[in-house]
Amino acid sequence: MEVTGRVVVLTGAAHGIGAAMARRFAAEGAAGVVVSDLDLEAAEKVVAGITAAGGAAIARHADASSKEDLKMLVTEARAEFGPVDLFCSNAGAAFGTGVHAADEQWARSWSINVMQHVHAAQVALPAMLSRGHGYLLITASGAGLLGTPGDAPYSVTKHAAVGLAEWLAITYRPRGVRVSALCPLGVRTALLEPGIAAGHPAALAIAAAAPLLEPEDVAESVVHGLASEEFLILPHESVRETYARKAAGLDAWIDRTILETGARKR
């Protein structure tokens, strides 16, 4: 998919990767970009930058875990710009906790990191299928392919997000709807940097796995990945080789990860 002339909806787009994608899509000539986030003020600033540069965008307050909010975004996008061509479910949540995380943290991780993508597909697919084309971009993580020592809810739910994306691709690609899973490793965002500063093992493991990228680097990879309609969009190219090595010998992979990160009771 070329972004030029397309209508795009993004969640979690007021900061970080989401904001960088919104700006890049607009620069690519998107017909309209819906920038949604819980932080409406920051979303409006992203939109102001886009419109100042001649792009078309609107900001909306939305909870990415709410199916009704996501349905509202599709409705607003259609009213303002036309049918949605690309829905980017990008919001994410991490708590830096192990298997003994509070039930509320497990539930929130599941609602944001998994059910957001389920609901996005539910609200975006009907119109896409009726038109015979469309695109779902699921922001998962390299953690969804390689795991994240030290953060059980994040690792588990990101694996689930990749699994959902794969199921959607198998099911709907024959009907004209493409699906990609965006799986970066470390990116300089408010989700990762506080953990690095605090010395959290999950954040440190991600930072050590590959060089930290800027959000704009990820947006660049997304544009190219959409253009070639790759299922896995990997801003860190090293993930491809590492993922293949993991698949070739999972026990060896687990042992190596234990040695590299150190065993911790969590």
Catalytic residues: 154
Please check whether residue 50 is in contact with residue 33, taking contact to mean a CB–CB distance below 8 angstroms: yes
Pairwise CA distance, residues 218 & 18, whole Å: 10
DSSP state letters, 49-114? HHHHTT--EEEEE--TT-HHHHHHHHHHHHHHT-S-SEEEE---------TT--HHHHHHHHIIII
Nearest to 131 by CA among 171, 82, 180: 82
Provide the token pair at 10: 């993004």
* Farthest-apart Cα atoms in the chain, separation: 54
Pairwise CA distance, residues 24 & 21, whole Å: 5
